[in-house]
Amino acid sequence: MTRSNRTAGAPDAGAAWRRLLTVRSAAGAREAGLRRGADGGWAWPEPVPAGAAALAARYLPLCLAGPHTAFAQLGQSADGFIATRTGDADYVTGEEDRLHLHRMRALADAVLVGAGTATADDPRLTVRACEGAHPVRVVLDPRGRVPRGRGVFTDGAAPTLWVVGADTAAARGRPPGDGVTVLSLGDRAAFAPRPLLSALAARGLGRVLVEGGGDTVSRFVRAGVLDRLYLTIAPVLIGDGVPGLRFPGTGVMRRALRPPARRTLLGEDTLWEFDLRGCGPQPGDAAGDQHADAGQARDEGEHAVDHGHGQALGRA
């Protein structure tokens, strides 16, 4: 952010987004022209178009979350499914949610998906609907089952980290494309969300968007490692399909998780943003119970495979 940007006056939505992309701290927010109000919240001091004010309100919590934060997003039907029973997810939510998703990618160092999503959707995981740099793409694939022809491995649009079990062919072979780094983990416990996030942070990827699918996001929620969860609910009923969030939960309704939440309308869809920072691991979760072991496994079981493409990961 330059001095001329700082004094450029009230930003429109496009300028507001460009400024938000630079904000990583309170100092950065001030540099971007934002001011903290009496209520502790940040806003543009001068009257700004509604779009600019809305962008600051929605994304500043993420911008200011610090260098280590994990957040997740799912787009689901009103009856709780993220795809049909054949795995078709084109498209559960609408255009405004796609824009929101791309903005969150732009605010992340890494975007992570499970093997099911990388296989079923062949997603690009790049930033195309808004300005911003592509995050590093992370595919969580303990069995090395994602086909090598998938775009994240072959399109070269952004760096990709393929996280596989050490006992897989993927761990032993050459990476499937330029810009793909294979990270081989020797112990299944090292795939648990907490040690995995530590492994990513050690590679400079501290701000992680977990983009699906339901199984992967659920594991991160159960492990209690997410700061924020974004659920966009579309006014559609699928009836049966791929479930969204699942965790053991409680038999007593008044003990159900009710984290601080706020909602925003995205066209016909409703975006719910949950602040999970006070929630912790969910009771009865085997993965959560394994955290201590998993932390140890991280130190003992993980090793990167150097295929000659071993330069430090960075955003595209």
Ligand X SMILES: NC(=O)c1ccc[n+]([C@@H]2O[C@H](COP(=O)([O-])OP(=O)(O)OC[C@H]3O[C@@H](n4cnc5c(N)ncnc54)[C@H](OP(=O)(O)O)[C@@H]3O)[C@@H](O)[C@H]2O)c1
Structure tokens at 261: 């939440």
151 binds ligand X (CB under 6 A): no
Nearest distance from C-beta of residue 214 to ligand X, angstroms: 4
216 binds ligand X (CB under 6 A): yes
Integer CA distances (angstroms), 246 to 160, 186, 225, in order: 27, 27, 15
3-state DSSP helix/strand/coil % of the chain, to nearest 5 = 30, 20, 45
Contact with ligand X (CB under 6 A) among 69, 117, 181, 198: 117
Structure tokens at 46: 């001068």
Contact with ligand X (CB under 6 A) among 100, 203, 207, 219: 219
180 to 199: interface string for ligand X, x by CB under 6 A: -----------xxx------
Q: From 5-13, 126-134, 142-150, 247-255, give the range in contact with ligand X by CB under 6 A.
A: 142-150
Integer CA distances (angstroms), 213 to 81, 112, 191, 218, 245, in order: 10, 10, 16, 8, 9
Nearest distance from C-beta of residue 154 to ligand X, angstroms: 19
> Nearest CA to 51 among 96, 12, 21, 22?
12
C-beta of 33 vs 213, nearer to ligand X: 213
- Can you give the C-alpha Rg of the chain in angstroms? 20
Q: Which residue is nearest to ligand X (CB)?
A: 213
145 binds ligand X (CB under 6 A): yes
301 binds ligand X (CB under 6 A): no
116 binds ligand X (CB under 6 A): yes
203 binds ligand X (CB under 6 A): no
Residue with tokens 């630079």: 22
